[in-house]
Structure 1
Amino acid sequence: MTYLLSPKVDFVFKRIFGNEKHPDILISFLNAVMKPKDLIESVQIRNSDIEKEHIEDKYSRLDIKAITNKGEYINIEIQVKNEYNMIKRSLYYWSKMFENQIVEGDNYNKLAKTVCINILDFKYLKNDKFHNAYRLKEIDTNEELTDTMELHFIEIPKLRKLDDSEEISDMLEAWVAFIQSPESEVVEKLEMSKKEIKEAKSQLLKMSVDSKDRYMYEKRKESILEKVSLIESAEQKGIEQGEYKKAIEIAQNAINNNLDENTIQLITGLSLEEIKILKNEK
Protein backbone atom coordinates (compact mmCIF):
# COMPACT_ATOMS: atom_id res chain seq x y z
CA MET A 1 0.00 0.00 0.00
CA THR A 2 1.36 3.41 -1.02
CA TYR A 3 1.41 5.96 1.76
CA LEU A 4 0.49 9.56 0.99
CA LEU A 5 3.25 12.14 0.82
CA SER A 6 3.05 14.83 3.49
CA PRO A 7 1.79 18.28 2.36
CA LYS A 8 3.91 19.72 5.21
CA VAL A 9 7.01 19.10 3.09
CA ASP A 10 7.39 22.27 1.01
CA PHE A 11 7.98 20.35 -2.25
CA VAL A 12 4.57 18.69 -1.94
CA PHE A 13 2.85 21.83 -0.67
CA LYS A 14 4.09 23.86 -3.63
CA ARG A 15 3.16 21.19 -6.17
CA ILE A 16 -0.42 21.15 -4.86
CA PHE A 17 -1.12 24.78 -3.94
CA GLY A 18 1.15 26.34 -6.57
CA ASN A 19 -0.14 24.24 -9.45
CA GLU A 20 -1.01 26.41 -12.47
CA LYS A 21 -3.28 23.67 -13.83
CA HIS A 22 -5.37 23.65 -10.66
CA PRO A 23 -5.64 27.32 -9.56
CA ASP A 24 -8.92 26.71 -7.71
CA ILE A 25 -6.93 25.09 -4.89
CA LEU A 26 -4.84 28.23 -4.28
CA ILE A 27 -7.84 30.54 -4.77
CA SER A 28 -9.81 28.63 -2.15
CA PHE A 29 -6.88 28.65 0.27
CA LEU A 30 -6.28 32.40 -0.14
CA ASN A 31 -9.96 33.22 0.38
CA ALA A 32 -9.92 31.03 3.50
CA VAL A 33 -6.86 32.82 4.92
CA MET A 34 -7.56 36.43 3.92
CA LYS A 35 -11.37 36.31 4.09
CA PRO A 36 -11.80 39.29 1.71
CA LYS A 37 -15.17 41.01 1.28
CA ASP A 38 -14.80 40.58 -2.48
CA LEU A 39 -13.60 37.04 -3.02
CA ILE A 40 -10.50 36.35 -5.06
CA GLU A 41 -11.60 34.93 -8.41
CA SER A 42 -8.34 34.16 -10.19
CA VAL A 43 -4.60 34.00 -9.54
CA GLN A 44 -1.44 34.24 -11.60
CA ILE A 45 1.16 31.87 -10.14
CA ARG A 46 4.62 33.34 -10.66
CA ASN A 47 7.06 30.56 -9.72
CA SER A 48 5.52 27.18 -10.39
CA ASP A 49 8.79 25.51 -11.48
CA ILE A 50 10.83 23.51 -8.97
CA GLU A 51 14.47 23.13 -9.93
CA LYS A 52 16.40 19.99 -8.95
CA GLU A 53 19.10 22.06 -7.21
CA HIS A 54 16.44 23.62 -4.97
CA ILE A 55 15.25 20.17 -3.90
CA GLU A 56 18.69 19.19 -2.60
CA ASP A 57 19.65 22.58 -1.15
CA LYS A 58 18.69 22.67 2.52
CA TYR A 59 18.76 26.48 2.50
CA SER A 60 16.53 26.96 -0.55
CA ARG A 61 12.94 28.23 -0.28
CA LEU A 62 10.17 26.42 -2.12
CA ASP A 63 7.60 29.14 -1.54
CA ILE A 64 4.62 30.14 -3.68
CA LYS A 65 4.39 33.56 -5.30
CA ALA A 66 1.18 34.73 -6.92
CA ILE A 67 -0.81 37.80 -7.96
CA THR A 68 -4.57 37.85 -7.49
CA ASN A 69 -7.11 39.28 -9.93
CA LYS A 70 -7.26 42.33 -7.59
CA GLY A 71 -3.53 42.95 -8.08
CA GLU A 72 -2.48 41.70 -4.64
CA TYR A 73 1.02 40.21 -4.35
CA ILE A 74 1.08 36.97 -2.35
CA ASN A 75 3.90 34.90 -0.87
CA ILE A 76 3.26 31.60 0.94
CA GLU A 77 5.89 29.65 2.83
CA ILE A 78 5.63 26.49 4.95
CA GLN A 79 8.16 25.70 7.71
CA VAL A 80 8.50 22.50 9.74
CA LYS A 81 11.11 23.68 12.27
CA ASN A 82 11.33 26.78 14.42
CA GLU A 83 14.32 28.84 13.27
CA TYR A 84 13.47 31.62 15.77
CA ASN A 85 13.40 34.27 13.04
CA MET A 86 10.00 33.94 11.38
CA ILE A 87 8.77 37.46 12.12
CA LYS A 88 11.84 39.26 10.78
CA ARG A 89 12.16 36.72 7.98
CA SER A 90 8.57 37.38 6.92
CA LEU A 91 9.03 41.17 7.14
CA TYR A 92 12.16 40.89 5.00
CA TYR A 93 10.45 38.89 2.25
CA TRP A 94 7.43 41.18 2.42
CA SER A 95 9.68 44.24 1.95
CA LYS A 96 11.45 42.65 -1.05
CA MET A 97 8.14 41.82 -2.74
CA PHE A 98 6.84 45.32 -2.02
CA GLU A 99 9.99 47.03 -3.31
CA ASN A 100 10.24 44.95 -6.48
CA GLN A 101 6.84 46.13 -7.71
CA ILE A 102 8.29 49.43 -8.95
CA VAL A 103 11.55 50.77 -10.36
CA GLU A 104 13.16 54.12 -9.64
CA GLY A 105 11.02 56.94 -10.99
CA ASP A 106 7.73 55.03 -10.78
CA ASN A 107 4.80 56.49 -8.89
CA TYR A 108 4.37 55.04 -5.39
CA ASN A 109 0.66 54.63 -6.15
CA LYS A 110 1.63 51.58 -8.20
CA LEU A 111 2.54 49.72 -5.01
CA ALA A 112 -0.11 47.08 -4.38
CA LYS A 113 -1.25 45.18 -1.31
CA THR A 114 1.41 42.63 -0.40
CA VAL A 115 0.64 39.60 1.76
CA CYS A 116 2.99 37.05 3.33
CA ILE A 117 1.43 33.84 4.64
CA ASN A 118 3.58 31.68 6.93
CA ILE A 119 2.41 28.14 7.68
CA LEU A 120 4.26 26.74 10.68
CA ASP A 121 4.35 23.16 11.92
CA PHE A 122 5.26 24.38 15.41
CA LYS A 123 3.92 26.78 18.01
CA TYR A 124 5.49 30.19 17.65
CA LEU A 125 3.33 33.12 18.78
CA LYS A 126 2.35 33.64 22.41
CA ASN A 127 -1.43 33.25 22.00
CA ASP A 128 -3.62 30.18 21.49
CA LYS A 129 -5.06 31.14 18.08
CA PHE A 130 -3.98 28.93 15.20
CA HIS A 131 -4.34 31.84 12.75
CA ASN A 132 -3.09 35.37 13.41
CA ALA A 133 -3.16 38.24 10.90
CA TYR A 134 -1.28 41.53 11.30
CA ARG A 135 -1.48 44.95 9.64
CA LEU A 136 -0.12 48.43 10.46
CA LYS A 137 -2.31 50.10 13.11
CA GLU A 138 -2.14 53.08 15.46
CA ILE A 139 -0.99 51.91 18.89
CA ASP A 140 -3.65 53.62 21.06
CA THR A 141 -6.72 53.87 18.84
CA ASN A 142 -6.17 50.70 16.76
CA GLU A 143 -6.90 52.80 13.67
CA GLU A 144 -5.60 51.05 10.58
CA LEU A 145 -2.98 53.05 8.68
CA THR A 146 -3.13 50.86 5.58
CA ASP A 147 -3.96 47.31 4.51
CA THR A 148 -1.01 47.37 2.08
CA MET A 149 1.02 45.27 4.52
CA GLU A 150 -0.48 42.01 5.76
CA LEU A 151 1.32 39.17 7.53
CA HIS A 152 -0.37 35.88 8.41
CA PHE A 153 0.89 33.14 10.72
CA ILE A 154 -0.89 29.78 10.65
CA GLU A 155 0.34 27.43 13.39
CA ILE A 156 -0.73 23.88 12.57
CA PRO A 157 -0.33 22.40 16.10
CA LYS A 158 -2.75 25.01 17.49
CA LEU A 159 -5.67 23.88 15.33
CA ARG A 160 -8.44 22.57 17.57
CA LYS A 161 -9.16 18.85 17.50
CA LEU A 162 -11.69 18.30 14.73
CA ASP A 163 -14.35 15.63 14.95
CA ASP A 164 -15.27 13.78 11.76
CA SER A 165 -18.91 13.82 12.89
CA GLU A 166 -19.14 17.63 12.80
CA GLU A 167 -19.79 19.88 9.84
CA ILE A 168 -16.68 22.00 9.37
CA SER A 169 -17.79 25.33 7.94
CA ASP A 170 -14.54 27.26 8.30
CA MET A 171 -12.56 26.61 5.15
CA LEU A 172 -9.23 27.51 6.76
CA GLU A 173 -9.77 24.81 9.39
CA ALA A 174 -10.50 22.42 6.52
CA TRP A 175 -7.30 23.34 4.69
CA VAL A 176 -5.12 23.09 7.79
CA ALA A 177 -6.67 19.69 8.56
CA PHE A 178 -5.70 18.57 5.03
CA ILE A 179 -2.12 19.86 5.40
CA GLN A 180 -1.82 18.27 8.84
CA SER A 181 -3.24 14.85 8.12
CA PRO A 182 -4.59 14.20 4.58
CA GLU A 183 -5.43 10.55 5.36
CA SER A 184 -7.62 11.36 8.38
CA GLU A 185 -11.34 10.58 8.53
CA VAL A 186 -11.99 14.32 8.90
CA VAL A 187 -10.37 14.98 5.51
CA GLU A 188 -12.12 12.00 3.92
CA LYS A 189 -15.44 13.52 4.94
CA LEU A 190 -14.37 17.00 3.77
CA GLU A 191 -13.63 15.55 0.32
CA MET A 192 -17.31 14.80 -0.09
CA SER A 193 -18.45 18.38 0.58
CA LYS A 194 -15.51 20.61 -0.41
CA LYS A 195 -14.57 20.24 -4.07
CA GLU A 196 -11.24 22.06 -3.66
CA ILE A 197 -10.21 19.66 -0.86
CA LYS A 198 -11.14 16.74 -3.12
CA GLU A 199 -9.08 18.30 -5.93
CA ALA A 200 -6.07 18.76 -3.64
CA LYS A 201 -6.35 15.19 -2.35
CA SER A 202 -6.51 13.94 -5.93
CA GLN A 203 -3.28 15.78 -6.78
CA LEU A 204 -1.64 14.39 -3.65
CA LEU A 205 -2.64 10.84 -4.61
CA LYS A 206 -1.15 11.30 -8.10
CA MET A 207 2.11 12.54 -6.61
CA SER A 208 2.20 9.70 -4.10
CA VAL A 209 2.11 6.99 -6.78
CA ASP A 210 4.51 8.74 -9.15
CA SER A 211 8.02 7.31 -8.76
CA LYS A 212 9.74 10.53 -9.88
CA ASP A 213 7.72 12.63 -7.41
CA ARG A 214 8.43 10.17 -4.61
CA TYR A 215 12.14 10.31 -5.37
CA MET A 216 12.11 14.14 -5.29
CA TYR A 217 10.04 14.04 -2.10
CA GLU A 218 12.57 11.78 -0.35
CA LYS A 219 15.45 13.99 -1.51
CA ARG A 220 13.68 17.08 -0.22
CA LYS A 221 12.94 15.38 3.11
CA GLU A 222 16.63 14.53 3.44
CA SER A 223 17.56 18.18 2.85
CA ILE A 224 15.01 19.39 5.39
CA LEU A 225 16.10 16.81 7.99
CA GLU A 226 19.72 17.85 7.51
CA LYS A 227 18.77 21.47 8.15
CA VAL A 228 16.65 20.50 11.19
CA SER A 229 19.59 18.49 12.54
CA LEU A 230 21.87 21.53 12.22
CA ILE A 231 19.34 23.73 14.03
CA GLU A 232 18.88 21.19 16.83
CA SER A 233 22.65 20.81 17.19
CA ALA A 234 22.96 24.59 17.55
CA GLU A 235 20.13 24.58 20.09
CA GLN A 236 21.84 21.84 22.12
CA LYS A 237 25.13 23.71 22.04
CA GLY A 238 23.31 26.79 23.34
CA ILE A 239 21.75 24.74 26.16
CA GLU A 240 25.11 23.24 27.11
CA GLN A 241 26.78 26.65 27.12
CA GLY A 242 23.93 28.05 29.22
CA GLU A 243 24.16 25.18 31.72
CA TYR A 244 27.95 25.60 32.01
CA LYS A 245 27.56 29.32 32.62
CA LYS A 246 24.98 28.60 35.33
CA ALA A 247 27.33 26.05 36.99
CA ILE A 248 30.12 28.66 37.03
CA GLU A 249 27.79 31.19 38.70
CA ILE A 250 26.74 28.65 41.35
CA ALA A 251 30.37 27.70 42.00
CA GLN A 252 31.40 31.34 42.39
CA ASN A 253 28.56 31.89 44.83
CA ALA A 254 29.56 28.74 46.77
CA ILE A 255 33.20 29.88 46.91
CA ASN A 256 32.08 33.25 48.26
CA ASN A 257 30.21 31.34 51.00
CA ASN A 258 33.35 29.31 51.85
CA LEU A 259 32.01 25.89 50.81
CA ASP A 260 34.71 23.22 50.40
CA GLU A 261 35.83 22.12 46.94
CA ASN A 262 34.31 18.61 47.12
CA THR A 263 30.87 20.03 47.98
CA ILE A 264 31.11 22.58 45.16
CA GLN A 265 32.07 19.80 42.75
CA LEU A 266 29.06 17.75 43.89
CA ILE A 267 26.51 20.54 43.40
CA THR A 268 27.89 21.94 40.13
CA GLY A 269 29.45 19.02 38.27
CA LEU A 270 32.60 21.09 37.64
CA SER A 271 36.03 19.50 37.94
CA LEU A 272 38.27 20.25 40.93
CA GLU A 273 40.70 21.92 38.53
CA GLU A 274 37.95 24.29 37.27
CA ILE A 275 36.96 25.10 40.86
CA LYS A 276 40.61 25.82 41.78
CA ILE A 277 40.85 28.23 38.82
CA LEU A 278 37.70 30.03 39.97
CA LYS A 279 39.14 30.30 43.50
CA ASN A 280 42.34 31.81 42.16
CA GLU A 281 40.34 34.32 40.08
CA LYS A 282 38.47 35.48 43.18
Structure 2
Amino acid sequence: MNDLLDPKNDFVFKRIFGSEENKDILLAFLNRAFMEAGETPLTEIILMNPFTDKDSPRDKQSIFDIQAKTIEGNLINVEMQLFNKYDNEKRTLYYWSKQYSGQLEEGKTYKLLKKCVTINILNFSVLPNNRYHNVFHLREDHCGITLTDDIEIHFMELSKLNEQMIPNEGGLLNWLLFLKSENTDSWEVLKLNEPGLEKAMTALEYLSQDAEARRLYEMRQKHLHDEASMIEGAKEETKLEVAKNLLRMGMDLSSIAKATGLPEDDIKKLKPMH
Protein backbone atom coordinates (compact mmCIF):
# COMPACT_ATOMS: atom_id res chain seq x y z
CA MET A 1 0.00 0.00 0.00
CA ASN A 2 3.02 2.25 0.42
CA ASP A 3 4.23 4.70 -2.16
CA LEU A 4 0.93 5.05 -4.00
CA LEU A 5 0.64 7.63 -6.76
CA ASP A 6 -1.48 10.63 -5.85
CA PRO A 7 -4.98 10.21 -7.38
CA LYS A 8 -5.30 14.03 -7.33
CA ASN A 9 -2.70 14.23 -10.10
CA ASP A 10 -4.95 14.85 -13.14
CA PHE A 11 -3.08 12.28 -15.26
CA VAL A 12 -3.70 9.56 -12.64
CA PHE A 13 -7.27 10.76 -12.02
CA LYS A 14 -8.13 10.45 -15.71
CA ARG A 15 -6.56 7.00 -15.97
CA ILE A 16 -8.71 5.77 -13.07
CA PHE A 17 -11.99 7.58 -13.78
CA GLY A 18 -11.79 8.39 -17.49
CA SER A 19 -10.87 5.14 -19.21
CA GLU A 20 -13.35 2.93 -21.03
CA GLU A 21 -12.74 -0.11 -18.80
CA ASN A 22 -13.40 1.98 -15.66
CA LYS A 23 -16.60 3.63 -16.83
CA ASP A 24 -18.47 2.04 -13.92
CA ILE A 25 -16.16 3.87 -11.47
CA LEU A 26 -17.01 7.21 -13.10
CA LEU A 27 -20.72 6.38 -13.12
CA ALA A 28 -20.72 5.48 -9.41
CA PHE A 29 -18.87 8.70 -8.53
CA LEU A 30 -21.16 10.90 -10.66
CA ASN A 31 -24.28 9.32 -9.20
CA ARG A 32 -23.14 10.16 -5.67
CA ALA A 33 -22.53 13.77 -6.76
CA PHE A 34 -25.94 14.02 -8.46
CA MET A 35 -27.80 12.38 -5.59
CA GLU A 36 -26.32 14.98 -3.22
CA ALA A 37 -27.59 17.65 -5.61
CA GLY A 38 -31.10 16.10 -5.42
CA GLU A 39 -31.06 14.67 -8.93
CA THR A 40 -31.96 11.37 -10.52
CA PRO A 41 -29.05 8.94 -10.80
CA LEU A 42 -27.79 7.92 -14.25
CA THR A 43 -27.93 4.37 -15.55
CA GLU A 44 -25.32 4.79 -18.25
CA ILE A 45 -22.62 7.20 -19.34
CA ILE A 46 -20.82 7.69 -22.67
CA LEU A 47 -17.19 8.80 -22.52
CA MET A 48 -16.47 11.53 -25.07
CA ASN A 49 -12.69 11.66 -24.54
CA PRO A 50 -11.64 8.34 -22.99
CA PHE A 51 -8.06 8.03 -21.73
CA THR A 52 -5.63 6.78 -24.34
CA ASP A 53 -1.83 6.64 -24.48
CA LYS A 54 -1.99 9.83 -26.55
CA ASP A 55 -2.90 11.63 -23.30
CA SER A 56 0.74 12.02 -22.46
CA PRO A 57 2.18 14.34 -19.80
CA ARG A 58 4.95 14.94 -22.34
CA ASP A 59 2.46 17.17 -24.13
CA LYS A 60 2.41 20.41 -22.16
CA GLN A 61 -1.00 21.22 -23.70
CA SER A 62 -2.69 18.07 -22.36
CA ILE A 63 -5.70 18.87 -20.23
CA PHE A 64 -6.71 15.75 -18.37
CA ASP A 65 -10.37 16.52 -17.93
CA ILE A 66 -13.12 13.95 -18.41
CA GLN A 67 -15.93 14.66 -20.85
CA ALA A 68 -19.00 12.45 -20.75
CA LYS A 69 -22.52 12.41 -22.10
CA THR A 70 -25.74 10.97 -20.69
CA ILE A 71 -28.20 8.92 -22.74
CA GLU A 72 -30.39 12.06 -22.99
CA GLY A 73 -27.44 13.97 -24.48
CA ASN A 74 -26.60 16.10 -21.42
CA LEU A 75 -22.90 16.92 -21.20
CA ILE A 76 -20.70 16.47 -18.11
CA ASN A 77 -17.19 17.78 -17.67
CA VAL A 78 -15.05 16.70 -14.70
CA GLU A 79 -11.76 18.43 -13.98
CA MET A 80 -9.27 17.79 -11.20
CA GLN A 81 -7.15 20.79 -10.17
CA LEU A 82 -4.19 20.20 -7.91
CA PHE A 83 -3.02 23.82 -7.77
CA ASN A 84 -4.88 27.10 -7.74
CA LYS A 85 -4.82 28.83 -11.14
CA TYR A 86 -6.90 31.69 -9.68
CA ASP A 87 -10.04 33.32 -11.13
CA ASN A 88 -11.66 29.89 -10.77
CA GLU A 89 -15.22 31.22 -10.98
CA LYS A 90 -14.60 33.02 -14.29
CA ARG A 91 -12.52 30.12 -15.60
CA THR A 92 -15.28 27.60 -14.90
CA LEU A 93 -17.94 29.81 -16.54
CA TYR A 94 -15.72 30.30 -19.58
CA TYR A 95 -15.23 26.53 -20.07
CA TRP A 96 -18.90 25.84 -19.32
CA SER A 97 -19.98 28.38 -21.97
CA LYS A 98 -17.61 26.88 -24.57
CA GLN A 99 -19.07 23.45 -23.92
CA TYR A 100 -22.65 24.76 -24.05
CA SER A 101 -22.29 26.85 -27.21
CA GLY A 102 -20.10 24.21 -28.88
CA GLN A 103 -23.12 21.90 -29.17
CA LEU A 104 -24.90 24.08 -31.72
CA GLU A 105 -24.06 23.93 -35.38
CA GLU A 106 -24.77 27.05 -37.43
CA GLY A 107 -28.41 27.43 -38.42
CA LYS A 108 -29.68 24.96 -35.81
CA THR A 109 -32.41 25.82 -33.31
CA TYR A 110 -31.59 26.75 -29.69
CA LYS A 111 -33.91 24.11 -28.32
CA LEU A 112 -31.33 21.49 -29.34
CA LEU A 113 -28.98 22.78 -26.62
CA LYS A 114 -28.65 20.26 -23.80
CA LYS A 115 -27.79 20.73 -20.14
CA CYS A 116 -24.08 21.06 -19.33
CA VAL A 117 -22.71 20.08 -15.94
CA THR A 118 -19.24 21.13 -14.81
CA ILE A 119 -17.64 19.37 -11.84
CA ASN A 120 -14.50 20.99 -10.42
CA ILE A 121 -12.57 18.90 -7.90
CA LEU A 122 -10.13 21.26 -6.20
CA ASN A 123 -7.20 20.57 -3.89
CA PHE A 124 -7.62 24.09 -2.46
CA SER A 125 -10.47 26.30 -1.23
CA VAL A 126 -12.18 29.02 -3.26
CA LEU A 127 -15.61 29.43 -1.67
CA PRO A 128 -16.12 31.28 1.63
CA ASN A 129 -18.06 28.53 3.44
CA ASN A 130 -17.32 25.20 5.14
CA ARG A 131 -19.21 22.99 2.68
CA TYR A 132 -16.93 20.63 0.76
CA HIS A 133 -19.53 20.20 -2.04
CA ASN A 134 -21.29 23.28 -3.43
CA VAL A 135 -23.71 23.13 -6.37
CA PHE A 136 -24.76 26.20 -8.38
CA HIS A 137 -27.78 26.69 -10.65
CA LEU A 138 -29.42 29.71 -12.29
CA ARG A 139 -32.27 30.76 -9.99
CA GLU A 140 -34.33 33.87 -9.27
CA ASP A 141 -33.07 35.75 -6.19
CA HIS A 142 -36.35 36.14 -4.30
CA CYS A 143 -38.50 33.09 -4.93
CA GLY A 144 -35.87 30.62 -6.12
CA ILE A 145 -37.56 29.65 -9.40
CA THR A 146 -35.17 28.15 -11.96
CA LEU A 147 -34.64 30.15 -15.15
CA THR A 148 -33.21 27.09 -16.88
CA ASP A 149 -31.79 23.81 -15.69
CA ASP A 150 -29.13 23.90 -18.40
CA ILE A 151 -26.35 25.22 -16.15
CA GLU A 152 -25.05 23.24 -13.18
CA ILE A 153 -21.66 23.84 -11.62
CA HIS A 154 -20.17 21.78 -8.79
CA PHE A 155 -17.19 22.74 -6.66
CA MET A 156 -15.76 19.91 -4.56
CA GLU A 157 -13.01 21.29 -2.31
CA LEU A 158 -10.81 18.53 -0.90
CA SER A 159 -9.04 21.07 1.31
CA LYS A 160 -12.20 21.29 3.44
CA LEU A 161 -12.06 17.59 4.37
CA ASN A 162 -10.27 16.13 7.38
CA GLU A 163 -9.56 12.61 8.61
CA GLN A 164 -12.21 12.88 11.34
CA MET A 165 -14.92 13.01 8.68
CA ILE A 166 -14.99 9.25 7.92
CA PRO A 167 -18.70 8.50 7.35
CA ASN A 168 -20.52 5.31 8.39
CA GLU A 169 -22.67 5.18 5.27
CA GLY A 170 -22.39 5.44 1.50
CA GLY A 171 -22.12 8.80 -0.26
CA LEU A 172 -19.89 11.27 -2.10
CA LEU A 173 -17.74 11.94 0.97
CA ASN A 174 -16.21 8.45 0.70
CA TRP A 175 -15.06 9.18 -2.86
CA LEU A 176 -13.61 12.56 -1.93
CA LEU A 177 -11.72 11.12 1.05
CA PHE A 178 -10.24 8.50 -1.30
CA LEU A 179 -9.13 11.25 -3.70
CA LYS A 180 -7.63 13.27 -0.85
CA SER A 181 -5.75 10.04 0.05
CA GLU A 182 -3.85 11.39 3.03
CA ASN A 183 -4.44 8.25 5.03
CA THR A 184 -5.01 4.82 3.49
CA ASP A 185 -5.89 3.38 6.95
CA SER A 186 -9.48 4.48 6.36
CA TRP A 187 -9.75 2.73 2.99
CA GLU A 188 -11.32 -0.46 4.38
CA VAL A 189 -14.17 1.60 5.88
CA LEU A 190 -14.59 3.68 2.70
CA LYS A 191 -14.74 0.47 0.65
CA LEU A 192 -17.43 -1.02 2.89
CA ASN A 193 -19.48 2.18 2.56
CA GLU A 194 -18.99 2.42 -1.20
CA PRO A 195 -18.38 -0.92 -2.96
CA GLY A 196 -17.55 0.92 -6.22
CA LEU A 197 -14.45 2.35 -4.57
CA GLU A 198 -12.72 -1.02 -4.43
CA LYS A 199 -12.16 -0.98 -8.19
CA ALA A 200 -10.81 2.59 -8.03
CA MET A 201 -8.39 1.64 -5.23
CA THR A 202 -7.24 -1.47 -7.10
CA ALA A 203 -6.69 0.62 -10.26
CA LEU A 204 -4.56 3.09 -8.26
CA GLU A 205 -2.50 0.28 -6.67
CA TYR A 206 -1.95 -1.32 -10.08
CA LEU A 207 -0.87 2.00 -11.62
CA SER A 208 1.47 2.67 -8.71
CA GLN A 209 3.36 -0.54 -9.47
CA ASP A 210 3.70 0.25 -13.19
CA ALA A 211 7.14 1.75 -13.86
CA GLU A 212 6.07 3.57 -17.05
CA ALA A 213 2.96 5.02 -15.39
CA ARG A 214 5.13 6.22 -12.49
CA ARG A 215 7.58 7.88 -14.88
CA LEU A 216 4.75 9.71 -16.69
CA TYR A 217 3.23 10.65 -13.33
CA GLU A 218 6.52 12.22 -12.15
CA MET A 219 6.72 14.14 -15.41
CA ARG A 220 3.19 15.46 -14.96
CA GLN A 221 3.83 16.35 -11.29
CA LYS A 222 6.87 18.38 -12.31
CA HIS A 223 4.88 20.22 -15.00
CA LEU A 224 2.06 21.00 -12.54
CA HIS A 225 4.53 22.24 -9.90
CA ASP A 226 6.37 24.41 -12.44
CA GLU A 227 3.08 25.90 -13.64
CA ALA A 228 1.97 26.59 -10.04
CA SER A 229 5.33 28.25 -9.26
CA MET A 230 5.03 30.50 -12.33
CA ILE A 231 1.50 31.57 -11.31
CA GLU A 232 2.59 32.22 -7.72
CA GLY A 233 5.64 34.14 -8.98
CA ALA A 234 3.47 36.34 -11.21
CA LYS A 235 1.08 36.94 -8.31
CA GLU A 236 3.94 38.03 -6.01
CA GLU A 237 5.26 40.32 -8.74
CA THR A 238 1.84 41.98 -9.02
CA LYS A 239 1.72 42.47 -5.24
CA LEU A 240 5.13 44.16 -5.32
CA GLU A 241 3.98 46.50 -8.10
CA VAL A 242 0.88 47.44 -6.10
CA ALA A 243 3.02 48.03 -2.98
CA LYS A 244 5.38 50.32 -4.95
CA ASN A 245 2.46 52.37 -6.23
CA LEU A 246 0.95 52.71 -2.76
CA LEU A 247 4.32 53.81 -1.37
CA ARG A 248 4.51 56.49 -4.06
CA MET A 249 1.06 57.66 -2.98
CA GLY A 250 2.35 58.04 0.58
CA MET A 251 0.41 55.23 2.23
CA ASP A 252 1.87 53.94 5.52
CA LEU A 253 3.60 50.56 5.74
CA SER A 254 1.01 48.75 7.89
CA SER A 255 -1.84 49.73 5.52
CA ILE A 256 0.17 48.55 2.50
CA ALA A 257 0.93 45.26 4.29
CA LYS A 258 -2.81 44.79 4.92
CA ALA A 259 -3.72 45.64 1.33
CA THR A 260 -1.13 43.36 -0.32
CA GLY A 261 -0.49 40.63 2.24
CA LEU A 262 3.26 41.35 2.01
CA PRO A 263 5.40 41.59 5.19
CA GLU A 264 6.31 45.17 6.24
CA ASP A 265 10.04 44.36 6.01
CA ASP A 266 9.63 43.45 2.31
CA ILE A 267 7.75 46.70 1.67
CA LYS A 268 10.49 48.75 3.40
CA LYS A 269 12.99 47.40 0.88
CA LEU A 270 10.87 48.86 -1.93
CA LYS A 271 11.25 52.43 -0.61
CA PRO A 272 13.41 54.50 -2.96
CA MET A 273 16.80 55.43 -1.50
CA HIS A 274 17.30 59.18 -1.02
TM-score band, normalised by shorter chain: 0.7 to 0.9
Determine if contact 2:139/2:145 at 8 Å carries over to the other structure. yes
Which piece of structure 1 moves more, 197-206 or 83-92?
83-92
Identical columns (%): 35
Distance 1:272 1:7, change over 3 A: same
Determine if contact 1:19/1:48 at 8 Å carries over to the other structure. yes
Residue 239 (1) aligns with residue 230 (2): no
Displacement, 1:104?
1.6
Determine if contact 1:247/1:268 at 8 Å carries over to the other structure. no
Displacement, 1:252?
9.0
Amino acid at match of 2:242: G
Q: Which runs of 5+ in 2 are unaligned?
A: 254-266
Amino acid at match of 2:215: Y
User: Which string of whole-angstrom CA distances, capped at 9 and with x for unpartnered residues, describes residues 10-49 of structure 1?
Assistant: 0001011112112111111111112254311111111113
Residue 24 (1) aligns with residue 24 (2): yes
Partner of 1:178: 178
Q: TM-score if structure 1 supplies the norm length?
A: 0.83
Distance in 2 separating the partners of 1:78 and 1:122: 11
Distance in 2 separating the partners of 1:14 and 1:252: 49
Displacement, 1:53?
7.1
Give 3-state SS (helix, strand or coil) of 1:69's partner.
Answer: coil
Q: Which runs of 5+ in 1 are unaligned?
A: 254-266, 274-282
Distance 1:237 1:198, change over 3 A: same
Distance in 1 separating the partners of 2:232 and 2:57: 21
Q: TM-score if structure 2 supplies the norm length?
A: 0.86
Amino acid at match of 1:88: K
Displacement, 1:193?
3.8
- CA-based RMSD of the aligned residues comes to 2.3
Aligned length: 258
Determine if contact 2:19/2:52 at 8 Å carries over to the other structure. no
Partner of 1:152: 154
Distance in 1 separating the partners of 2:33 and 2:240: 40
Amino acid at match of 1:55: P
Give 3-state SS (helix, strand or coil) of 2:30's partner.
Answer: helix
Give 3-state SS (helix, strand or coil) of 1:22's partner.
Answer: helix
Partner of 2:264: none
Distance in 2 separating the partners of 1:252 and 1:135: 43
Distance 1:6 1:244, change over 3 A: same
Partner of 1:256: none
Determine if contact 1:80/1:122 at 8 Å carries over to the other structure. yes
Distance in 2 separating the partners of 1:102 and 1:251: 53
Distance 1:58 1:246, change over 3 A: farther
Which piece of structure 1 moves more, 48-57 or 227-236?
48-57
Picking from 38, 47, 50, the partner of 1:48 is 50
Amino acid at match of 2:181: S
Displacement, 1:241?
2.1
Displacement, 1:88?
1.4
Amino acid at match of 1:152: H
Determine if contact 2:65/2:79 at 8 Å carries over to the other structure. yes
Distance in 2 separating the partners of 1:157 and 1:101: 34
Determine if contact 2:9/2:221 at 8 Å carries over to the other structure. yes
Residue 219 (1) aligns with residue 246 (2): no
Amino acid at match of 2:230: L
Distance 1:111 1:252, change over 3 A: closer
Distance in 2 separating the partners of 1:155 and 1:246: 34
User: Which string of whole-angstrom CA distances, capped at 9 and with x for unpartnered residues, describes residues 184-236 of structure 1?
Assistant: 22223212342211110000011000111111101111110110110111122
Distance 1:234 1:34, change over 3 A: same
Give 3-state SS (helix, strand or coil) of 2:20's partner.
Answer: coil
Distance 1:249 1:33, change over 3 A: same
Distance in 2 separating the partners of 1:139 and 1:37: 21
Determine if contact 1:72/1:114 at 8 Å carries over to the other structure. yes
Determine if contact 2:80/2:121 at 8 Å carries over to the other structure. yes
Partner of 2:8: 8
1:54-133 mapped onto 2 (5 Å cutoff): 54-133=56-135
Give 3-state SS (helix, strand or coil) of 2:41's partner.
Answer: coil
Displacement, 1:54?
4.8
